[in-house]
């Protein structure tokens, strides 16, 4: 249900939305993704159902062009988050909680 459009009427404002955060590797099944590039916080929300696997690590591409002053992260389970500025990625290691498989990662601009 994503509206993926790249629009160019003499370099319109929509072009930067083609480069956006996305899950490169997901330790589960995607449930929902929200990306609000024109909101003040440039909020990215990823919901997924974790599945037992060899790894509980998800890798998210987070383009610096949208977060030039940095960003804050929040996880529903208090999992570990590591930001690699050079690769423009966030590594989210989720925690296993008995009976809870739904995970959420939220990224918002620092300013």
The whole-angstrom separation of Cα 55 and Cα 102 is 16
20-37 pLDDT, tens digit per residue, is 999 999 999 999 999 988
For the chain, state the CA radius of gyration.
Answer: 15
Residue 96 has pLDDT above 50, yes or no: yes
Going by C-alpha positions, the residue among 72, 68, 27 that lies closest to residue 45 is 72
The CATH number of the domain holding residue 105 is: 2.60.40.1180
Looking at the structure of the chain, the number of domains it has is 1
Tell me if 99 is assigned to some domain: yes
Tell me if 44 is assigned to some domain: yes
Tell me if 14 is assigned to some domain: no
41-85 pLDDT, tens digit per residue, is 899 999 999 987 768 999 999 999 999 999 999 999 999 999 999
Residue 11 has pLDDT above 90, yes or no: no
- Tell me, what DSSP letter sits at residue 96? P
Q: Which domain holds residue 28?
A: 20-109
Averaged confidence pLDDT in the chain: 85
pLDDT greater at residue 1 or residue 88: 88
């Amino acid at each position: 249900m994503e509206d993926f459009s790249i629009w160019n009427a003499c370099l319109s404002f929509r072009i930067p939305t083609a480069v956006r955060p996305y899950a490169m590797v997901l330790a589960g099944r995607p449930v929902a993704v929200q990306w609000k590039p024109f909101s003040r916080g440039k909020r990215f929300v990823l919901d997924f159902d974790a599945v037992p696997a060899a790894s509980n690590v998800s890798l998210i591409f987070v383009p610096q062009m949208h977060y030039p002053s940095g960003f804050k992260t929040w996880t529903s389970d208090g999992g570990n988050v590591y930001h690699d500025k050079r690769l423009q990625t966030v590594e989210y290691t989720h925690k296993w909680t008995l009976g809870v498989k739904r995970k959420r990662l939220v990224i918002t601009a620092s300013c």
